[in-house]
Amino acid sequence: MRLIVATTVAGALLLGACTTDPYTGEQKISNTAGGAALGAGIGALGGMLAGGNDRRNALIGAGVGALAGGAVGVYMDRQEAELRAQLQGSGVSVSRQGDRIVLNMPSNITFATDQDSVMPGFYGTLNAVGLVLKKYNQTIVDVNGHTDSTGSDSHNYALSQRRASSVADYLGAQGVDPRRFAVNGYGETQPIASNANESGRAQNRRVEIYLTPIT
């Protein structure tokens, strides 16, 4: 049976989106939620009660508008264009799956070998992603970690989870509303290339970000 480790990164709704910067240890308030923390918190709580832990309901309850009809495609087209412009030459690929946008971040540019702390040289790329995510806030964000097949299953699951969490934490520290995030570690269970050679293993070691419109 495939084990999927999943956690939701969420702030205390009634206290606003207060997060800890994982690199400085400082407490900071999300720019997205800081303007009207109490009202947003109460609205989000209503959404949570109406739809369990559904992020869409929570965000709609907090006042983030939903997209409908032809507006969905236009909104995602514009977001995709800005991401492509910001990430050109960064090593991060941008692809489209229907109305979803997928960012593929190879681990060789994101993390040192077998480590889960984002490399300082990648901060600028994540800063650019954060700017676009804050501008286009009508999406939910799934951050998925993956590894190759080297090492034990338990090690790979844990490493993939920690790496995905590091990326989500960094983006949250840049002011992206943490209520938008879900963080998933898949270990070696979802390869996109063969693990029989180094080239394939390198492709499998990655963090993917899926951006899905709130509809």
The better pLDDT of the pair 21, 156 is held by 156
* CATH number of the domain to which 188 belongs: 3.30.1330.60
Domain count, the chain: 1
Domain containing residue 180: 66-213
User: Which residues face 105 on adjacent strands?
Assistant: 207
Q: pLDDT, tens digit, for every residue of 77-129?
A: 999 999 999 999 999 999 999 999 999 999 999 999 999 999 999 999 999 99
Q: Quick one: tokens of 205?
A: 């070691």
Is residue 66 within 8 Å of 60, Cβ to Cβ? Answer: yes
pLDDT, position 25: 56
Rounded distance between C-alpha atoms, residue 68 and residue 150, angstroms: 44
Residue 192 lies in a domain: yes
Residue 29 lies in a domain: no
Residue 42 lies in a domain: no
Residue 9 lies in a domain: no
Residue 96 lies in a domain: yes
Radius of gyration of the chain, Cα coordinates, nearest whole angstrom: 17
Residue 151 lies in a domain: yes
pTM: 0.76
Residue 109 lies in a domain: yes
Angle formed by the axes of helices 70-87 and 123-135, nearest 10°: 160
Q: pLDDT, tens digit, for every residue of 19-72?
A: 555 555 555 444 444 433 334 343 434 333 333 348 999 999 999 989 999 999
Residue 52 lies in a domain: no
Average pLDDT of the segment spanning 173-177: 97
User: Which residues face 206 on adjacent strands?
Assistant: 106, 146
